[in-house]
Chain A
Amino acid sequence: MGGLTGDLWQSVWLTIELASITTVILLALGTPLAWWLARSKAWWTEAVAAVIALPLVLPPTVLGFYLLVALGPDGPGGVIAGAWGGRTLAFTFEGLVFGSVLYSMPFVVQPIRNAFAAIGDRPIEVAATLRASPRRAFWTVAVPLARPGFLTGAVLGFAHTVGEFGLVLMIGGNIPGRTKVLSVAIFDYVEASQWREANILASGMVIFAFAIILTITLIEKRGARTGR
């Protein structure tokens, strides 16, 4: 039993690690992207936005299938893995991070974009008349004003990565400590008729999901109260 619970906690930690790294990367990539999406007047802006939003609509198996091929030795993933002597990015933690970034991107970019868009041009223009450089205006005016958007994006990105299953199942290879995340561990326990363990993890997920949704609602409510 001790070994089993050790295995169980390992997948919990791995999931938290994956979701945290994914969220940090998404905030770093998503912020400039969201800023551009919110302010660009180019006709193809919405096309880019649509591409980012694709995972909202596509079944995870579509992404899983293409990633399995793309990460493999015949795809770009194999070339990248070759840099450190590997053959494939599938079955690696890095591969999962890559997949999760694509998969959770819309959940981070959308709220931040909306928050930036809600600010409008005026505060930025005012900052410019006060001789703030565009960069300074961005960091001292736009980002603080868009804070609720960042919070929602980070929480959603984290939560959605925790909740992904089909993609990980298809490219993970179920390796304990590297790719066996929570959702896959639950699937595994159910398949092996270990329902006690499945129940521990699954009920934990229910509580987690409830806490996340409540948190987001409270963030939005507070944002609305403070006039944002």
Chain B
Amino acid sequence: MRFAKLARLAVGIAAWVLTSTSVPAAQTNVAVAANFTEPAKEIAAAFKAKTGHEVVLSFGASGQFYSQITQGAPFQVLLSADDARPKKLIDDGLAVPDSRFTYAIGKLVLWSKTPGLVTGEETLKAATFAKLSICNPAAAPYGAAAMETMKSLKVLDTLQPKLVEGATITQAYQFVETGNAELGFVALSQLTGPETGSRWLVPQELYSPIRQDAVLLKTGVSNEAATGFIAFLRSPEARAIIEKYGYVLDGQS
């Protein structure tokens, strides 16, 4: 008896969900590298205001998304924090080859909540702190860029025991924000809020450019919202938002 009732309810809900989402505006699921969280929200809102299409954003580490997409995760677009993983997805036959482009070039910042703590590369050389937070270099490009910077400055060996790793750039930020680490390598885009403290914009010659590529996944080819969103990323409106968050646009660095 109860089961029949439940089944009827389930069918009812399913029917409601199906009919309510397949009407006018389309919807797409977009996987977004954690460093691009804030601009992505703003761009998605602007996109919705313009087209009515709904963009559902998921934030995480690029490596994590790559693994999930190879296993059939229901995303139609990937905004990666690197160019390697979108390329790999194309090689794997999971993404549309000519859809890949660099939507932003990321900037690495050494940041502390303590005013005066971060003054420049000498902060890393003096190493008068207990914990330096970075994000997982194997899964997140900003972590790899942080490692490269420390290698360029020849301070990696002395700093290695002080490193703590977040799974994403958001977690690396959070370790500094909660004061558990005195300073950390974060994305410039994360520091547009009211953060106080001290920061050092790491010079580009210390690490290879963080070319953040977007790619349309094969699952999104016939999804109007997905193709529309990736096209919208190139629009002047979206580019202005991206620049506002401290990214450099391709062809202007």
Contact = CB atoms under 8 A, between A and B. Distances in A.
Given A173-B175, A188-B136, A91 B131 contact: yes
Given A87-B130, A188-B136, A191-B61, A68 B178 contact: yes
Contacts of A192: 63, 136, 138-139
Interface stretch (B46-54, B158-166, B227-235): B158-166
Contacts of A69: 178
A74 interface: yes
Contacts of B93: none
B35 interface: no
Contacts of B203: none
A88 interface: yes
Nearest to A180: B165
Contact of B182 (A68, A74, A87, A187): A87
A153 interface: no
Chain B contact patch, size range: 20 to 34
A59 to B, nearest CB: 16
Contacts of A91: 131, 164, 180-181
Contacts of B175: 90, 173
A90 B182 CA distance: 12
A73 interface: yes
Interface string A67-83: 01101111000100000
Nearest to A174: B165
B152 interface: no
B67 interface: yes
A93 B200 CA distance: 31
A191 B63 contact: yes
Interface in A33-85: 68-69, 71-74, 78
Contacts of A71: 180
Nearest to B63: A191
A173 B167 contact: no
Given A191-B61, A191-B67, A173 B136 contact: no
B115 interface: no
13 contacts: A68-B178, A68-B180, A72-B179, A73-B180, A74-B179, A78-B179, A90-B164, A170-B171, A173-B180, A173-B181, A187-B167, A191-B167, A192-B138
Interface of A: 68-69, 71-74, 78, 86-88, 90-91, 169-170, 173-175, 187-188, 190-194
